[in-house]
Amino acid sequence: MKIKYELLKNDGKARYGKLMTNHGTFETPMFMPVGTLANVKMLTPEELKEAHSAVILSNTYHLWLRPGEDIVAKAGGLHKFMNYDGPILTDSGGFQVFSLAKNKKKDITEEGVHFKSHIDGKPLFLTPEKSIQIQNKLDSDIAMSFDECIPYPVSYEYAKQSTERTLRWAKRGKEAFDNENQSLFGIVQGGEFADLRKFSAIETVKLGFDGYSIGGTSVGEDKKTMYKMIDDAIEYLPIDKPRYLMGVGDPIDLLEGVERGVDMFDCVLPTRLARHANAFTYRGKINLRNAKYKEDFTPIDDCDCYTCKHYTKAYLRHLFVANEGLGGRLLSIHNIRFLIRLMEDIREAIKEDNFLEYKANFIKKYLGD
RNA sequence: GCGGAAUUGGUGAAGUGGUUAACACGGCGGAUUGUGGUUCCGUUAUGCAUCGGUUCGAUCCCGAUAUUCCGCC
């Protein structure tokens, strides 16, 4: 069956709802950890579950290259292959492919994108149909349309042409789509241009998807521009479908997104920061390598995660300084739990009609008076 | 005891008679938003064993001292 979204409450634009999938029902707004290669880096599914993780991301491009979608299909689909029984969303590969396409003008064609494998440099060609077919085989819960994530800054003319092409690709992908147990999301592009965002949203919705995502954000633009991109698109999205803001995961951006009506977020930030010794805390981001933690025998934060229940900053610092992988693992657990707990708190605040107050308090503490 | 060689930052080390002593590691700090699992960036010796001398000027030339290593009695 397809996913179903049930909107249960509105606090201003901020929404609280439920997402029903073949692999469980989960509350929104939610944060989705990224597991590109059919794994959230360094973590087991059990650890994700303990952090109360729901949907996780995986990536079409990476799994296409290796092990190959046929092998995943032979294994019984992505869930069985990676031993994760929660919902999985697969990104289309567009984001990766575009960064690998050297010559934008030549390599990006109406038919698809020419680029070179990041593994062996072999020339490859990915089309909207191919991306969808791969995702059908991977058998994720949610597939994403193949789109171009427009860089920033970019000319109006390029943004317009690209946005129109993404729209045509969305249509082609939808027509090629063939998996009745899988849902398909459309992606709004448009760059920083309000009229293109509007156009993209309206036309994408006309095609009819199970959910809609806002793409092309956090590509180097300033925060105000990013928030405006959300505003310019989201008012044209249907209220009874989930909205997914792609690639956003800074705690403050999550709050800003929720305030604007976003239901789902994904980001590499918690795991990437963790591998580089940076921890989220309610008083802002800290770097556990810093000398001041050498003799700090307290947990990272007032946090209910496995890491904070069992380990001190001094120990984690030691692991990072000694270059031990366990540090990245333990910190990934914390950072993911931090964002998931943030979303839990956000949902509670929405349910109690005080989201804006919660947001203001969080930001005040996070940024330090 | 005699002869030879060496002595540069926390470490391994390059280098030159003349403004800012290379590089690497380490240290310290920062970055990171649809993942590039050990990444990127910044910073880190007012000083070249010590004391004298030569010189307009010495880490680099000379002498003494100290320490280390190697040979010979």
- Residue A360 CB neighbour total at 10 angstroms: 12
Residue A31 to residues A95, A192, A260: CA-CA distances in angstroms? 19, 24, 15
Assigned token pair, A184: 């398909």
Q: How many angstroms separate the CA of A366 from the C1' of B57?
A: 57
Which DSSP letter does residue A215 get?
Answer: -
Sketch the domain layout of chain A as residue ranges: 4-267, 268-369
Q: How many angstroms separate the CA of A114 from the C1' of B1?
A: 81
Does position A120 have pLDDT exceeding 80, yes or no?
A: yes
Q: How many angstroms separate the CA of A278 from the C1' of B46?
A: 36
Q: How far apart are CA A158 and CA A135, in angstroms?
A: 28
The residue count of chain A comes to 369
Q: Which residue's CA shows the smallest distance to C1' of B26?
A: A321
Local confidence band at A296 (pLDDT 50, 70, 90 cut-offs): very high
Does position A249 have pLDDT exceeding 80, yes or no?
A: yes
Contact A167, A203 (CB under 8 A): yes
- Residue with more model confidence, A152 or A309: A309
Q: How far apart are CA A343 and CA A337, in angstroms?
A: 10
Catalytically annotated residue among A11, A91, A253, A301: A91
Q: How many angstroms separate the CA of A321 from the C1' of B68?
A: 34
Assigned token pair, A260: 């604007």
| A164-199 pLDDT per residue, tens | 999 999 999 999 999 999 999 999 999 999 999 999
CATH 3.20.20.105 fits A4-267, yes or no: yes
- How much is the pLDDT for A368? 86
Residue type for position A10: N
- How much is the pLDDT for A28? 98
| A284-293 pLDDT per residue, tens | 999 999 999 9
A213 in helix, strand or coil?
strand
Of A237, A236, A232, the closest CA to residue A217 belongs to: A232
Local confidence band at A12 (pLDDT 50, 70, 90 cut-offs): confident
B chain positions with any atom within 7 Å of a protein CB:
27-40
Which DSSP letter does residue A219 get?
Answer: S
User: Radius of gyration of chain A from Cα atoms?
Assistant: 20
Known catalytic residue at A266:
yes
Phi-psi region of A133 (alpha: psi -120 to 50; beta: other; left: phi over 0): alpha
| A259-274 pLDDT per residue, tens | 999 999 999 999 999 9
Helical axes A128-138 vs A156-176, angle rounded to 10°: 50
* A57 CA: nearest nucleotide by C1': B34
- How much is the pLDDT for A350? 97
Mean pLDDT of chain A: 95
Residue A116 to residues A70, A90, A101: CA-CA distances in angstroms? 21, 21, 7
ipTM of the complex: 0.90
Q: Please enumerate in sequence order all residues whose Cβ is within 8 A of that of A175, keeping only pairs 6 or more positions apart, or say none.
A: none
Catalytically annotated residue among A147, A253, A263, A266: A266
The mean per-residue pLDDT over the stretch A110-139 comes to 94
Does position A369 have pLDDT exceeding 80, yes or no?
A: no
Strands A14-21 and A278-279: unpaired
The mean per-residue pLDDT over the stretch A322-327 comes to 93
- How much is the pLDDT for A210? 98
| A125-162 pLDDT per residue, tens | 999 999 999 999 999 999 999 999 998 889 999 999 99
Local confidence band at A99 (pLDDT 50, 70, 90 cut-offs): confident
Asked if residue A238 has a cis previous peptide bond (ω within 30° of 0), the answer is no
| A221-239 pLDDT per residue, tens | 999 999 999 999 999 999 9
